[in-house]
Amino acid sequence: MSTSVQLSDFLASVERRAYKHAAYAVRDEQAAMDIVQEAMIKLAQRYGDKPAAEFPLLFQRILQNTIRDHFRRQKVRNARFSLFSSFTSPQSEDEVDALDILQDEDNASQPATPHAAAANRQLLALVEAALRQLPPRQREAFLLRYWEGLDTAETATAMGCTGGSVKTHCSRATATLARILKQKGIDLTWASN
């Protein structure tokens, strides 16, 4: 059985990646923060007493289900309140980026030089835009396999599908990403392997 310290350490280690994963899926920073928070609370409340080795798969499954629940709620909300859409106000351009708030004590996410930082930001923006163009299941499989580092079986468990489906989704996702990024002048040799 895990301790509260192990659970806390696990949640701290996955919060940034989970946020990015949710942000790619829902394309709304505030909703992504809510989704990650909800998934973390569910893990702590329902599975906090499980062995720490089980946390990664449990959390990924909870996160995926929470993202799906978000889309279900959005679908219902949009159907009921579509007439009121003209009353919404545009978002402020002064909003704080959620990634700036998350801690990075080792400064591991920052490159060494300003030039490298600018190049990395540009590359990351292109990759994120390409990821947003993927169909949801392909994006989900790609992020779980290559962003979260899960193997095929773990990804299949988290997605609720077969290992063959995971491989198909990942193959299609990498091919599509390579094509999109090549059009932007970025050649990814890993996508053709």
Specify the domain boundaries for CATH 1.10.1740 within the chain. 1-80
Average pLDDT over residues 36-59: 92
Report pTM. Answer: 0.53
Indicate if the pLDDT at residue 128 is higher than 80: yes
Confidence of residue 188 (pLDDT cuts 50, 70, 90): low
Q: What is the pLDDT of residues 76-116, one digit of tens each?
A: 666 544 444 444 444 444 554 544 545 555 555 554 577 77
Count how many residues are written for the chain.
193
Q: What distance in Å separates the CA atoms of residue 65 and residue 71, rounded to the nearest whole number?
A: 10
Q: What is the pLDDT of residues 50-79, one digit of tens each?
A: 999 999 999 999 999 999 888 888 776 665
CATH: 1.20.1070, 1.10.1740, 2.60.40, 1.10.10. Which one for 1-80? 1.10.1740
pLDDT at 3: 86
Specify the domain boundaries for CATH 1.10.10.10 within the chain. 115-193
* CATH top-level class of 115-193: mainly alpha
